[in-house]
Every structure is written in C-alpha cells, then in structure tokens.
Structure 1
Amino acid sequence: MEALRITSAVAPPQSLIKAHLSKPIFTTPFTHTTSNLTRFSKSKLTKLNVISPSVSTQTETGNLDHQDEKFDWFSQWYALTPVADLDKRAPRGIKALGLDVVVWWDKNENAWKVFDDRCPHRLAPLSEGRIDQWGRLQCVYHGWCFGGSGDCKLIPQAPSNGPAVHSSTKACVAVYPSTEQHGIVWFWPNTDPKYKDILTKKKPPYVPEIEDPSFRTTICARDIPYGYEVLIENLMDPSHVAYSHAGIMTYSPPPR
C-alpha cells in the first residue's frame, strides 16, 4: 500500500516563510520522513486553512463538522443571583458578562425583573433608586418611574396638562429576559426585542436533583476578584483547609 507522507510540523517550508517575512527565521534544511501509516482515500479528506500571526499554511485533515460553528455568549441563559441574596423592597445592581444590570421585584407582575442599570434620562444607576408605593422602579436622580416592561410610568417634572412625554420610546429602559428557577434569577443578556419571548422557546438548564427534597442543596454565588483558574486550583488544594478555614471543617492532623 502507498505510504502516507508526513510533513514536519516544526515550521512550513522556507519558501513560504520568505513570502511573508523579510528574512528567513530558519536556515536548517527541512527533511521529509515517511511512515507506514495507510493513506486515507481522498474522498474522506478536506483542505483546512491554518492561519498564524506570520504565515499561512495548508494541510490535510479529517472532515470537522463543527469547524464553522460559532458560540454566541450573549444568546444563552445565565444564572445571575440567588433569590436569597435579593430584597424585594430595594433594587440591586450586579455586573455580569461586563453588563451593569439591576434586579428588582415587580409586585404588579409578581416576578423578578432585570433591567439595564441606567436611567434613560441622565444615565443614573437605577440600582441606587427605590421601589415606590405603587411597586414601580424609581430613579434616585429625578424620580422617573418604570414598570416591569421597561416603560416609563411617570416623569414628575412633566406638566400634568402637557403632552404625555413619559410615553415616548426614548423614555423606556432596556429590559433583559429573566426568570426564576431553582431559587436563582436567570437572565438572557440581550435586550434585542426578538428575544422578548425567548423563555417560550428555550429555558435555562434544569437540574432535577435541586428540586428533589431527598437531596441537600446549597446555592451559593459570590463575586470573587480573580480568574476561574485560580479558584479551581484553590478548590483542589485540600491541604490549606485546616489553616484557612480553621474551626469550620473537621480535620485530623497527621501524626507526628
């Protein structure tokens, strides 16, 4: 059977490098080696363009069905905060995926709402505001009030006998789709109107064990100022427990 020719993966041929660089970075001649591997039929192979910062090469590889797929980080459900950390009497500001949002309880719709944390008037943070006696989210700066759909219900400075300026679309707050599940407020980080009813088409991940009373469930979410890789390294290091968490967890010291 015909042998499969393998090209060195160290670097592409010098002629290709010279086409992209003013000076070659390798002077050692390249050699080709052979292997006893069987050549696949050409019908099972496709061309794949590999791009690097300095050179472009082409190689043969198996057909990858997923190579053209793209993951949209802002078209997914995310756990935003445990309900236990919220207060129905006051809004709470949270930063998630680089977005500043405000979570508040809409007693008129009996649901948690997630808004863009900016008043459309002067961009004051709505999380610094309050819930008024009618259950509306009120901005702390000029008192503009908003309903659960993001629509402005009241502009105190507007004359009562004048035009209904509060009904302008420019007076509305951007609303993120949200829902409560497993004692957690979830949100869809995209305010595009086409996602308004996304909950009817796609729901957050469901974990049946959390709803099963035979399981003991603890939901904890905290903002920690370091990367996930440091967090995982810490969680996988049991030797620090006796000293960093003294008196919290039982620990038997090794014999001396």
Structure 2
Amino acid sequence: MYLESASCGGHGTLEMLEVSRVLEENGILCAFCGVSALIYYGAGRDWDICVPSDLVEKAAAIFKSEERSNDYFPVAAQPIPWPGSLRHTYHRFRVRNLFLHFNIVPVDDIHLELAPDKIQRSRYGLPYPKLPVLIQSFLDIKDMVSLADVVDGSDVTDEWGQEHLNLEGETDVEWAAWKNKRIVACTSTILGGGVPSRPFKKRDLWKDVVSTKLGRCGWKRPHTLFKTRFRLIGSIDPWLEPDRICS
C-alpha cells in the first residue's frame, strides 16, 4: 500500500499537532517528550506524547474509537524491550495513510512534571515541557544520554542551571526502585541493569555534563566553528528559528 509523506518534510509536525489537540479536546493534558522534545530543543535524534498516568487508558481509547478510526489505528508496540525502558508496554498508533507513529507515554514513567504552567508551545502550537522541566527530569533520574543531548542542543550553561534547576540533594532513588520493579514485572529481568538506582549528587552531575560540551564535539566538529556538537558558534536557539518546520 502506498503511504503518503507526512507534513513538514516527513517529520509529521502538523499531524502530531492534531494528535495533541484530540487529547486536549477530551480534557487530557499532554506534552511531547522523549526524542520529540530533544529534537525541539536542538538535539538531532516515533513521536512520544506523555499524559497523566491515570489517563493513559482513556487517551488510548480515544484513538481506538470508531470516531477516530479514519485518522488513526493501533499498531504493535516495540517488540523488544530497551534496557531500562518500558516502551514495549506503551500504546502505539499510526496515522492512517502515513508512515507516522506515536506512543502514549505515562508521565510517571519518565519522571516529568506535567502541569499547564510547565508547558510551552512551539511556533506550530505543539505542547512541549519547558526547558527547565525537561532538563530537571533527566537530571533527577540520571538519564545522562538525554541530559547531554538536551544540554548540547540548548547550549545552556552551569550558571543557567544554578538559576533554573533544583541541584540540591541526590537523584531520585525511590523512583528508580519503582521503575525497576515495573521493568521486572513486565520482562522478568532487569535488562541492561535497569535505571540507575544508586544515589548521585545532582549538582555534581550537572557540573560534569555542562563542563564537557566541547569534549563531546569530537574531531569532526572543530571548536573554531562549533560550540557544542549540535550548535554552531553564533547560532540562535533552535526553537526560536523562524523557518523551522520540524516542531
């Protein structure tokens, strides 16, 4: 079957805007998260949309309903679990006639604070976590890969973190224990060691990730041109680019 290309060069921005509107029209607060949010903040990485955990089944039922059957249909979740992830348990959908998928993510699974005042809209109107909210979530659970990606995409500084983040105390080991217990319940094993369950000082993690931005550039991105692996010297914040079509 021939599938049409999604909007915005295949990225699917306008279709995902409609997905968020469907949820919001049904009283479900949502925000794009995961890789979707990383791209918005300048990290080059399916669309993930998080909703309150107690509304996941309601959200899935909306997209499975007869009313929405001409626009969306459910597809199998990712068959192989990722280390430290529950992606294989998420409701996954495809936009009809397009090769474009999205996952409904319980917000508790990603330790993200989801509230109306924690969301900002892209120029197309898509809801995303505000930058401090997104970075705080990665820091609290020691997701160092995502943390480095968003730091390099947004080019925030140590001083920015001192002002906008909660750097006191340690990572959330209670959440880690809860997440690892859920992973075991779904897979009968802790794949790849689960999520980090040992406490780390958040201030130390933050200083480490912001002080090594240039080091992550590698030899292919000379320091005379790049200030991070995703940002050229003199470039504006990606989410402020006037001709940006991917978010």
Q: Looking at both structures, which has the greater relative contact order when contacts are Cα pairs under 8 Å and sequence separation is at least 6? A: 2
Greater fraction of residues in strand: 1
Q: Highest Rg: 1 or 2?
A: 1
Greater fraction of residues in helix: 2
The answer to whether the superposition gives a TM-score over 0.5 is no
